[in-house]
A and B are shown apart, each in its own frame.
Chain A
Amino acid sequence: MTTSSLEAVVDPQLIQQWIAQIGSDSSAAVPLLQAIQTEYGYVPRKAMDLVIQYSDINASQLFGVVTFYAQFRLRPVGRNRIKVCHGTACHVKGADRLNTALRQALDITDPEADTSRNGSYTMEDVACIGCCSLAPVMVIGDDVFPNLKGADSQRSLKKHAKSHNETLLGLEKAKPEKTESAPVENDEGSPE
């Protein structure tokens, strides 16, 4: 894993600024962590140390909270994030296959890993995002992609990668056969 290069450099001034804005008492714990995660994409250990240092929140509370809520992650993220919805409707309609297809395209083989080796994309399974009638869905960045089959998800990802200058490791190495025109029904797959 080369994701260590994705570690964020934490700016102590920013942390102080957020504490001044949001608050320094224990009820500020969640919003502070949310601000940190919005900035860095995850909650760096260094940022938590600074919160403990500058606010009235103690270490046990902060670590308790950060590990309790599914929203927070402690590992660095790739440059782009893919959220695959695993709500009931998406599950029934085959959301698992999106994971298979996307992991294949990103060449993520270690079952514990969620980020491609070149740091391009991080995959997350999320609980329902509330688009159940359009299941299965995934979100890349802020764009929601509806009614996906496994193959569609690869194509949407390919499009996204192209427009963001990212390389998809899993599609690089493989299979020199004909490239385009997968015969899937929903030809209009992605918005944008």
Chain B
Amino acid sequence: MSGEGLIVTVGEGTCGIAAGAREVFSLLQKKLPQAVFRTVGCAGMCHQEVMVEIGDETSGTTHLYGLVDKKNIPQIVAFHTADGELPAEMLIRSSDQPGLEKGKYLARQTRIALRNVGQLNPTSIEQYKARTGYQALEKIIKGGMTPDDVIKEVEVAGLRGRGGAGFPTHAKWRFARNAPGDLKYLICNGDEGDPGAFMDRSLLEGDPHSVLEGMLIAAYAIGAAKGYAYIRAEYPLAVINFNKAIKDARAAGYLGENILGSDFSFDVKVKEGAGAFVCGEETALLASIEGLRGMPRIRPPFPAIKGLFGKPTIINNVETLSNLAWIILNGGPAYSSIGTSDSKGTKVFALAGAIARGGLVEIPMGMSVRELLMEIGGGSSSEHPLKAVQLGGPSGGCIPESLFDTPIEYAAINATGAIMGSGGMVVMDTKSCMVDIARYFLEFTQRESCGKCTFCRIGNIRLREILTRICEGKGEMEDLDTLEELSNSVKDASLCGLGQTSPNPVLTTLRYFRDEYLAHVCDKKCPAGVCKGLIQHTIDQSQCTGCSICQRYCPVNCITGETKKPETWVIDTTVCINCGMCAEVCAPKALVVQ
């Protein structure tokens, strides 16, 4: 039971740790004292956390297990050290058995941006170097590539900004390169504010050096000497790992003065964001770094000409940056050979919501929404079929099931009314209410509006009020027309991306799920059983066992009855707030929503 010759790898991203990775790690260490232990970032298979890979140097095999916990650790240990049986139900991937169903999640992906995530210890610069790390930087500096060569290579690759808008990266760089001025800035935008997107977190946590190397390449191309990594304060592990990467890269001579002996100098500082969604917008982000309220300003002048502290500044998204080293090493044509004519390369998506296999996936552009959700994501996580997917966060829109054959590329996605955005995909089954979703996003954008433009500041509040009214069953038919008209006004009269896109969830749900709005307004019903003003919880006494657990969890004490006498249990509907706690804890499912 010693574990000699075994290499045990445990995924310790934020999600792995949340699922108990540290406990699994120390338990395995106790049982396999002779084994070599490694920790890596998140592999993106969040639905399988905690994940453990065991490599056997003697037999040359590797086994990747998912959903490992203290109960099933003995099975794994027994298999690898004694005559135990293979814990097949936990196996995701094995060198002995190719083509496992669970392994499809990884097999169907093309990983460029995520190439190292889950494969290396993010705090080890040595491991990054062992996986071609910093070779792109060396190729540029020692191989004599000029900044124009670098820009040209990225142009050939066809890389577009992965933060949302999809502006061609090379074009933006060229503006800044040609802008006059000695001091230029390069900023990494890691203020991933879209609720439902977490690829930037995963990259910053799990492979910070590839983002840093991307920053160096971009800085070299535009001639920047100073850089900031603007990272959300909600991502503490990302901040720690990125700071460590900066320190190690500086010590290794990849960062600082005269990098690799050349006259190229560049250094980076981490700035922690302070929780403002609007700071994902470039000019608002700059204001925030300058120490001001994060309010966008009129463009032009564009940041590439006049940005941080008035100097030419390029702001690139985390995922964009993490592609760069790969492009330089493998060449622009290799990147542009992936994807479609409109959209080159790959894109990372965060799958969450009512999906069986949630997590991060990186796919070639052009794959259909259906293939992504059904083949990789495994379809619905419940017995209820999928209804829609919200793409692009609060700025995006809902794509209904009928349009799931849409290919994932910028133009085709925009045509549906949604946007690619940063790649958050929240999947909804028939138990999600689309009016409630629209209300949820409006509440979010309205709260996050900086207040500069009147239509965004007040229009979004009015939109939210109307949607709340509809969700409470107080909506009227004319509300639907008002929603549409006001949505278009907010889009037209807002300065930045936040206001220009905030009505998208309303417009797309109105377009594709008008029947649900009508059910709320005309029939005063919420078909999905979500909107509290339109539902009522009651007890089905034929199913009730009289266990009284619902009573214990009811926050307003509206459930009464005698223990073990099902026929006595009732809900006082005049007091009930329909919070759903009772239905959640009821084991025999005796609580019905009407």
Same complex for A and B? Answer yes
Per-residue contact bits, chain B 437-456, to A (CB 8 Å; 1 contact, 0 not): 10011001000001000000
Considering only residues 82-109 of chain A, those with a C-beta below 8 Å from chain B are 86-94, 96-97, 100-101, 103-104
Considering only residues 420-434 of chain B, those with a C-beta below 8 Å from chain A are 424, 426, 428, 432
| Among candidates B273, B352, B437, B440, residue contacting A132 with C-beta atoms closer than 8 Å | B352
Say whether B18 contacts A151, CB under 8 Å. no
A61 at the interface (CB under 8 A from B): yes
> Which residues of A have CB within 8 Å of B587?
183
From B451, which residue of chain A is reached at the shortest CB distance?
A: A68
* Residue from B195, B271, B552 with most neighbouring chain A CB atoms (10 Å): B195
Say whether A182 contacts B580, CB under 8 Å. no
Per-residue contact bits, chain B 287-325, to A (CB 8 Å; 1 contact, 0 not): 011111110000000000000000000000000000000
For the complex formed, measure the closest distance between the CB of B389 and the CB atoms of chain A, giving whole angstroms.
11
| Among candidates A97, A130, A175, A188, residue contacting B198 with C-beta atoms closer than 8 Å | A130
Say whether B552 contacts A177, CB under 8 Å. yes
Say whether B585 contacts A184, CB under 8 Å. yes
Query: A178 vs B317: C-alpha distance in the bound complex, in angstroms?
Result: 53
Say whether A88 contacts B553, CB under 8 Å. no
Say whether A130 contacts B234, CB under 8 Å. yes
Say whether A92 contacts B20, CB under 8 Å. no
| Among candidates B274, B277, B351, B581, residue contacting A133 with C-beta atoms closer than 8 Å | B351
| Among candidates A87, A92, A127, A151, residue contacting B553 with C-beta atoms closer than 8 Å | A151
Say whether B194 contacts A69, CB under 8 Å. no
Say whether B272 contacts A96, CB under 8 Å. no
Number of B residues with CB within 8 Å of any CB on chain A: 72
Would A70 and B291 be within 8 Å (CB), given that A104-B555, A128-B195 are in contact? no
Say whether A175 contacts B276, CB under 8 Å. no
Say whether A131 contacts B46, CB under 8 Å. yes
Say whether A94 contacts B580, CB under 8 Å. yes
B65 at the interface (CB under 8 A from A): no
Say whether A92 contacts B354, CB under 8 Å. yes
> Which residues of A have CB within 8 Å of B291?
25-30, 57, 61, 65
Say whether B198 contacts A131, CB under 8 Å. yes
Say whether A134 contacts B49, CB under 8 Å. yes
For the complex formed, measure the closest distance between the CB of A125 and the CB atoms of chain B, giving whole angstroms.
10
Say whether B581 contacts A26, CB under 8 Å. no
Interface segment out of the listed A9-17, A112-120, A141-149, A157-165: A141-149
> Which residues of B have CB within 8 Å of A111?
none
Per-residue contact bits, chain B 12-25, to A (CB 8 Å; 1 contact, 0 not): 00110111101100
A169 at the interface (CB under 8 A from B): no
Would A34 and B581 be within 8 Å (CB), given that A127-B444, A191-B17 are in contact? no
A168 at the interface (CB under 8 A from B): no
A33 at the interface (CB under 8 A from B): yes
Query: A131 vs B236: C-alpha distance in the bound complex, in angstroms?
Result: 13
For the complex formed, measure the closest distance between the CB of A153 and the CB atoms of chain B, giving whole angstroms.
10
Query: A181 vs B192: C-alpha distance in the bound complex, in angstroms?
Result: 39
| Among candidates A25, A34, A142, A183, residue contacting B549 with C-beta atoms closer than 8 Å | A183
A40 at the interface (CB under 8 A from B): no
For the complex formed, measure the closest distance between the CB of B569 and the CB atoms of chain A, giving whole angstroms.
14
Would A34 and B233 be within 8 Å (CB), given that A86-B195, A133-B358, A150-B584 are in contact? yes
Say whether B274 contacts A72, CB under 8 Å. yes
B138 at the interface (CB under 8 A from A): no
From A96, which residue of chain B is reached at the shortest CB distance?
A: B579
A71 at the interface (CB under 8 A from B): yes
From B14, which residue of chain A is reached at the shortest CB distance?
A: A131
Query: A104 vs B587: C-alpha distance in the bound complex, in angstroms?
Result: 21
For the complex formed, measure the closest distance between the CB of B369 and the CB atoms of chain A, giving whole angstroms.
17
> Which residues of B have CB within 8 Å of A182?
549, 553, 585
A192 at the interface (CB under 8 A from B): yes
For the complex formed, measure the closest distance between the CB of B419 and the CB atoms of chain A, giving whole angstroms.
15
Say whether B15 contacts A129, CB under 8 Å. no
Say whether A132 contacts B426, CB under 8 Å. yes
Say whether B293 contacts A133, CB under 8 Å. no
Say whether B549 contacts A31, CB under 8 Å. no
Query: A63 vs B46: C-alpha distance in the bound complex, in angstroms?
Result: 40
Say whether B18 contacts A89, CB under 8 Å. no
B69 at the interface (CB under 8 A from A): yes
B390 at the interface (CB under 8 A from A): yes
Query: A188 vs B18: C-alpha distance in the bound complex, in angstroms?
Result: 12
From A90, which residue of chain B is reached at the shortest CB distance?
A: B195
For the complex formed, measure the closest distance between the CB of B163 and the CB atoms of chain A, giving whole angstroms.
16
A36 at the interface (CB under 8 A from B): no
> Which residues of B have CB within 8 Å of A86?
195
Say whether A64 contacts B293, CB under 8 Å. yes
> Which residues of B have CB within 8 Å of A31?
271-272
Of all A-B residue pairs in the complex, the 3 with the closest CB atoms, nearest first, are A133-B46, A133-B358, A132-B352
Besides A30-B274, A89-B353, A146-B18, 4 more A-B contacts (Cβ < 8 Å) are A97-B580, A128-B197, A150-B579, A151-B553
Chain B residues packing against A (C-beta within 8 Å): 14-15, 17-20, 22-23, 46-47, 49, 69, 71, 192-198, 201-202, 233-236, 271-277, 288-294, 350-354, 358-359, 390, 393, 424, 426, 428, 432, 437, 440-441, 444, 450, 547-549, 551-553, 555, 563, 579-581, 584-585, 587
Chain A residues packing against B (C-beta within 8 Å): 25-31, 33-34, 57, 61, 64-65, 68-72, 86-94, 96-97, 100-101, 103-104, 126-135, 137, 142, 144-146, 149-151, 154, 174-175, 177, 182-184, 188, 191-192
What are 30 inter-chain pairs, A to B, with CB distance below 8 A?
Answer: A33-B274, A69-B276, A70-B274, A87-B196, A88-B195, A94-B580, A97-B580, A97-B581, A104-B555, A127-B195, A127-B275, A129-B234, A130-B192, A130-B198, A131-B14, A131-B198, A132-B358, A133-B15, A133-B358, A142-B236, A144-B17, A146-B15, A146-B19, A150-B581, A150-B584, A151-B581, A151-B585, A175-B552, A184-B585, A188-B71
